[in-house]
Amino acid sequence: MPRVKVKRNNPSLDMTPMVDLFFLLVTFFMLTATAREEEVVIVDTPSSVSEIKLPDANVITLTVDKNDRVFFGVDGQQTKKALLDKIASKYGVSFNEKESKTFSLLSNFGVPVNQLKSYLAMDGTQRKNVNQPGIPLDSTNNQLRDWILETRKLNQKVVIAIKGDVDVSYSTVQKVIETLQDQKVNRFNLVTDMEARPKSL
Amino acid sequence: MAEIQEKASSGKGGKKRAKKHSTKIDMTPMVDLAALLITFFMLTTTFSKPQTMEINMPVKEDNPENQIPVKASNAMTIILGEDDKVFYYFGLGAPEENPEVVETDYSAAGIRKVLVSPRVKSNPKMTVMIKPLETSRYKNMVDILDELRITDTKKFALVDITDTDKQLVKTKLGQ
């Protein structure tokens, strides 16, 4: 009786469809990706059951980190350039074209106006390592108020989002909210993480 | 059997043929690269936009005389203290009311139970006032706003803390 021959399959398989799929995915991710914005500070946001999403554009982000520093950020390069001009004329400082360009590329910052020029003159790595003091928002020197006010003048559609750290003391947040309320901004957003809504009460 | 093998090994010695190159190429490195790129883009993409919670602050009245005061029977005050403590009492907290301050926590059995209790739920006029102490954390504020959302409490306001409230908390803690 002859031995039963095991049919040997060729182990190399056709990978073309797999490659096709992979490149399709790569293309998809490349096109949909919005690179994660570089954060000046790492903020651990509290979680909530709210399911409202933050809009993509026209958002002022006020980041409050756990050392009670406030950072200001707005989207739109044109807005930022125009905003810097307004602030510059208000505070009697001037910025050259290069500094204005640098400013328009910043996602957010936390330096007082008088330090802004030297901050913008730094190069990327230096800027990353410098310790930003935060934007002053005392009642005597409330620069945050001006930043928000000028942005709102430039862009009426702007939405204000507060991104606070879990551990920041309420008094700082209160100051930020008061700054907003002074300008009759009574509706704003708090950036939170996702949390499951409890099933039963 | 032997013959076949012989034939296979002596393939070179036979007729000279134009060597046929296989049209198949090894695609493994290409697949590797594609997978690497996928992983990179998947990780750097912010797939989900950040969640937000909308908050409406009461409009600041320019002249306080126009404001209609909340009746004490329709008011509840929640005080957020330090170290994640929560205190609440019903009423406006005037000393003559002698409000009974109760300490609770942010768990499901804590403040949420109070907010779904008939005293709050069955009174549509019940206004919850949230008064965070300066020493409380931002998380506390978000947590309490979240609880109000979970319990579907519509009327609430974020109010500045008063000295009487501070005093109430002090006496409560002093017990």
Nearest CB to A187 within list B27, B54, B135: B54
Q: B26: which chain A residues are within 8 Å (Cβ-Cβ)?
A: 12
Chain A residue whose CA is closest to B113: A201
Distance of alpha carbon A48 from alpha carbon B139, whole angstroms: 10
Q: How many CB atoms lie within 10 A of CB A166?
A: 17
Encode pLDDT of A88-105 as tens digits: 888 888 888 888 888 888
Chain A residue whose CA is closest to B37: A26
In this predicted complex, what is the ipTM?
0.74
Nearest CB to A15 within list B27, B58, B158: B27
For every residue of chain B, which 3-state class applies, written as one string?
CHHHHHHHHCCCCCCCCCCCCCCCCCCHHHHHHHHHHHHHHHHHECCCCCEEEEEECCCCCCCHHHCCCCCHHHEEEEEECCCCCEEEEECCCCHHHCCCCEEECCCCCCHHHHHHCHHHHCCCCCEEEEEECCCCEHHHHHHHHHHHHHCCCCCEEECCCCHHHHHHHHHHHHC
Per the DSSP assignment, residues forming a β-bridge with B87 are B79, B103
Suggest the residue from A29, A36, A65, A197 to mutate for an interface test with chain B (most B CBs closer than 10 A): A29
Encode pLDDT of A109-123 as tens digits: 888 888 888 888 888
What pLDDT, on the 0 to 100 scale, is given for residue B6? 45
Q: Where are the alpha helices (DSSP H) in A92-169?
A: 97-105, 113-121, 124-129, 143-154
Token pair belonging to A120 = 């913008």
Q: Check CB contact under 8 Å for B53 and A32.
A: no
Q: Tell me: pLDDT of A61 over 70.
A: yes
Q: Tell me: pLDDT of A106 over 70.
A: yes
Dihedral angle sign, alpha carbons of residues B43, B49, B51, B56: positive
What pLDDT, on the 0 to 100 scale, is given for residue A50? 80
Q: What is the mean pLDDT of residues A140-165?
A: 86
Type of residue numbered B128: V
Q: Check CB contact under 8 Å for B53 and A164.
A: no
What pLDDT, on the 0 to 100 scale, is given for residue A201? 58
> Is the distance from CB of B148 to CB of B128 less than 8 angstroms?
yes
- Residue A124 φ then ψ, to 5°: -50, -50
Q: What is the mean pLDDT of residues A8-32?
A: 80
Q: Check CB contact under 8 Å for B150 and A170.
A: no
Q: A187: which chain B residues are within 8 Å (Cβ-Cβ)?
A: 54-57
Using CB atoms within 10 A of its CB, is residue A121 exposed (0-12), middle (13-18) or buried (19+)?
middle
Token pair belonging to A11 = 């182990």
> Is the distance from CB of B82 to CB of B135 less than 8 angstroms?
yes
CA distance A44 to chain B (A): 10
- Residue B129 φ then ψ, to 5°: -105, 130
Q: Check CB contact under 8 Å for B137 and A169.
A: yes
The CA-based angle B138-B142-B147, given to 5 degrees, is 145
Chain A residue whose CA is closest to B46: A36
Distance of alpha carbon A149 from alpha carbon A156, whole angstroms: 10
Contacts of A54 (CB under 8 A, 6+ apart): A159, A161, A189, A191, B49, B50, B51, B52
Contacts of A27 (CB under 8 A, 6+ apart): none
pLDDT classification of A1: cutoffs 50, 70, 90: low
Ranges of chain B whose pLDDT falls below 70: 1-17, 46-49, 60-67, 95, 97, 175
Distance of alpha carbon A131 from alpha carbon B39, whole angstroms: 33
